[in-house]
Structure 1
Amino acid sequence: MKVHLVAACGAFGLAWQYELHGIELGVLFLTIAGVLTAELFNTALEAVVDRISPEFHPLAKLAKDIAAGAVLIQAIAALGVGYVLFGDKLLK
């Protein structure tokens, strides 16, 4: 979560520096909210799995791995959004 929050602050800093407006800011906010929401769901699922199955179980591992994978997919999508929003501005 800390890494995602630092990245969000960096994205907001770039948005301010490059004066994003309207739809661009909306897309940025929704993307950041999506990543943070996925991370929160992942954390909640891990807590529930640990509570229900404190000992190792292959299905518990699978549930945790899938939830972490969902966060990874959302983070990769956020990188794509960042490239679309900032790529041409950063490469000038």
Structure 2
Amino acid sequence: MKFSFQKWLKSLHYAISGISYAASQQNFSLMILLGIGVIILGGILKISATEWLILILTIGIVLSLEVLNTVWEKTLDFLSDDISENIGHIKDMVAGAVLIACLVAIIIGLIIFLPKLI
């Protein structure tokens, strides 16, 4: 398959559009602000390269899961107008996955930052 720069630019445009839509959602915006705060704190505390890698990866995972949560919610809303018990369970489980990632991110943040703050 031959590489097409035009197709790549179009794909990039769609991806940026998707991120822009995600940014309009309250939870994603909150996660962005928290991520920026963590990055600023990392700069102030001069964390190591390894700690930077761990933090950036963690932030990326949380943001990606938040996008996927929105995708699932929008898809399920599109497929069914009524809220069945099964659809509710699916939405709850996807939101739970985001919560797990956030809790792990908090633990990682505490492990990295707490010794530097005490």
- TM-score normalised by the chain length of structure 2: 0.75
Q: Would you say 1:14 and 2:35 are equivalent positions?
A: no
1:1-92 to 2 correspondences below 5 Å: 1-91=28-118
- Other structure's SS at 2:83 match: coil
Shift of 1:22: 1.3
Shift of 1:47: 0.4
RMSD: 0.7
Q: Which moved more, 1:67-76 or 1:13-22?
A: 13-22
Distance 1:35 1:90 in 2: 24
Gaps in structure 2 of 5+ consecutive residues: 1-27
Distance 2:65 2:47 in 1: 25
Output the amino acid matched with 2:32: L
Output the amino acid matched with 2:52: L
Output the amino acid matched with 1:63: I
Gaps in structure 1 of 5+ consecutive residues: none
Shift of 1:29: 0.4
Distance 2:56 2:111 in 1: 14
Distance 1:9 1:39 in 2: 16
Distance 1:19 1:84 in 2: 15
4+ residue runs over 2 A deviation: none
> Identity of paired residues, percent?
31
